[in-house]
Amino acid sequence: MKIVSLITARGGSKEIPKKNIVNINNKPLIWYSINASLNSSVHETWLSTDSKEIKNIAVECGSKVIMRPDEISTGKSQSEEALLHFADNVDFDILVFIQPTSPFISEKYINEGLDKMDRYDSVFTVTKEHWLPKWDLNIAPIDWETSNRPMRQDKPATYAEAGMFYITTKNNLLTSKLRYSGEIGVVEIPLHDSFQIDSKEDLLLIKRLMQTHND
C-alpha cells in the first residue's frame, strides 16, 4: 500500500505575490506542509507546480516535484486537474492532497486522517462551528429573523472545511474525478491550528500568532 502526498503550489497569486513561498517565521510557506508530510506516515512527498522557483525551494525542503502544464495552472484551474495529472504520472494507492496555505499543519493530523482510511473511502479536515447570526451584504439576516433570534445552544453545530488536506484512494480519484467521494470521514482541527493564508489579512494574522507563540 503506497501512500503519497501531493502539495499543490502554482506560481501565480494575485493578492499575495509568490504566496506559496512567502516568508513565514523565516521559512517559505510550503516548508510547513512539506515538513509535516515528511514526518508523517506518508511514503513519498510530492509538490505540483508550474514555477521553477517554487520547484527549487521544494527540492531544498526535501520534496519530490512534478511540473504542472501551463494549461492547468491558471487562476481558474481546479485543484482536481492537478490531482488527475499527478495520478496519470505517479504510482500510488492512497493520496494525501495538501493545500500549502495552512502553516499549522502537523504530521499528527495527517496520520489521524490516514488511520481513518481503514473505515472510509475519503477523509478531509474540518473545524467545528457553533451558530452565530449571519447577515448578507444587504444587511438581511441569513436563515433567521430579527423578531425571533435563536439562542446559540438551540442551533446545531456544523462542520466547515478546514482546507488543510484531503485523503482519497487513486481508484476513487480516477473514478469520481473529485478530491473526496464514497463514504467520507473527517479529522477535526482545533481552531488555533486551522488558520489558512488566503489574503493579506490572513498573512498578517499568522505572522502575529507565530510571533506571539515564539515570545
The alpha carbon dihedral of 189, 191, 195, 199 has a sign of positive
Q: How far apart are CA 6 and CA 96, in angstroms?
A: 6
Domain residue extents for the chain: 3-125+161-214
Among the listed residues 10, 68, 119, 149, the single catalytic one is: 149
Query: Could you give the angle at which helices 52-61 and 29-38 cross, rounded to 10 degrees?
Result: 40
The pLDDT tens digits of the residues spanning 144-196 come to: 999 999 988 888 999 999 999 999 999 999 999 999 999 999 999 999 999 99
pLDDT of 119 reads 97
Alpha-carbon distance of 38 to 137, in angstroms, equals 43
Query: For 105-144, b where at least 16 C-beta lie within 10 A, e where not — what string?
Result: bbeebbbbbbebbeebbbbbbbbeeebeeeeeeeeeeeee
What pLDDT does residue 17 have? 82
CB 106 within 8 A of CB 190: no
Q: Could you read off the pLDDT of 80-106 as tens digits, one per residue?
A: 999 999 999 999 999 999 999 999 999
Does residue 15 carry a pLDDT above 80?
no
| Of 29, 37, 38, 26, the residue nearest 9 (C-alpha) | 29
**Residue-wise pLDDT tens digits, 191-211:** 999 999 989 999 999 988 887
Q: Is 208 a catalytic residue?
A: no
Q: CB-side exposure of 66: number of CA atoms within 13 Å?
A: 24
Contact 50, 70 (CB under 8 A): yes
154 secondary structure, DSSP code: G
The CATH number that domain 3-125+161-214 falls under is 3.90.550.10
| 25 pLDDT higher than 80 | yes
- pTM for the model stands at 0.92
Distance of CA 109 to the CA centre of its chain: 12
Q: Label residues 152-185 b or e (16+ Cβ within 10 Å = b).
A: eeeeeeeeeebbbbbbbbbebbeeeebbbbeeeb
Residues 6+ apart with CB under 8 A from 149: 133
